[in-house]
Amino acid sequence: MSTKRVLFLCTGNYYRSRFAEELFNHYAKLERIQWRASSRALAIKRGRENVGPISQFVIEALTDRNITPTGSSRFPLLCRIDDLQSADVVVALKEAEHRALLAESFDGWQDRVRYWHVHDIDVAKPGEAIAMIDHLVRDLIRKIRTNP
């Protein structure tokens, strides 16, 4: 059985999508499902104020859950067309923010992805966004288990 892929997209691939990726991979391993997550940025240059390879909020949230991050040393990566094409499921973390970015860079893909509605740090407190991503990732895992 081949491993299926989910791709999480956000603006800078620093905070929301990275947390979703790490959390999904942790839960998929626990649930023994043949899925693997990756994450990418749609507008990496907008994150030029980010410090280090990954948000400290992600490291703290994973630590609070006793999860050792596997990709905490890699810097954000920009989405390429082959990332989209090789994914079985693509999730953009906030439709109001990411639909237009997808249309701009990958016209046609904006109607082919699933959208969540997780606010970035400028709108929501990190704890709120982290909790929402945790809930949404668990829900995605449940759906995958039910309908592989």
Torsion sign across C-alpha atoms 141, 50, 64, 130: negative
Q: What is the pLDDT at residue 48?
A: 67
Q: Does position 50 have pLDDT exceeding 70, yes or no?
A: yes
At residue 147, the pLDDT reads 79
Residue 1 predicted with pLDDT over 70: no
| Distances 43 to 16, 83, 115, 130 between C-alpha atoms, Å | 14, 15, 17, 21
Question: Per mean pLDDT, which range of 18-32, 40-54, 70-84, 108-122 is the poorest?
Answer: 40-54
Q: pLDDT class for 52, splitting at 50, 70, 90? A: confident
pLDDT mean over 9-26? 96
CATH number given to 4-146? 3.40.50.2300
Confidence of residue 47 (pLDDT cuts 50, 70, 90): low
Q: Where are the domains of the chain?
A: 4-146
Band of residue 124 on the pLDDT scale cut at 50, 70, 90: confident
pLDDT at site 126: 83
Residue type, 31: E
- Which amino acid type is present at position 146? T
As a whole number, mean pLDDT of residues 109-133 equals 91
Do the beta carbons of residue 85 and residue 108 sit within 8 Å?
no
Phi-psi region of 108 (alpha: psi -120 to 50; beta: other; left: phi over 0): left
Q: What tens digit of pLDDT does each residue of 56-103 get?
A: 999 999 999 999 999 888 999 999 999 999 999 999 999 999 999 999
Computed over every residue of the chain, the mean pLDDT equals 93
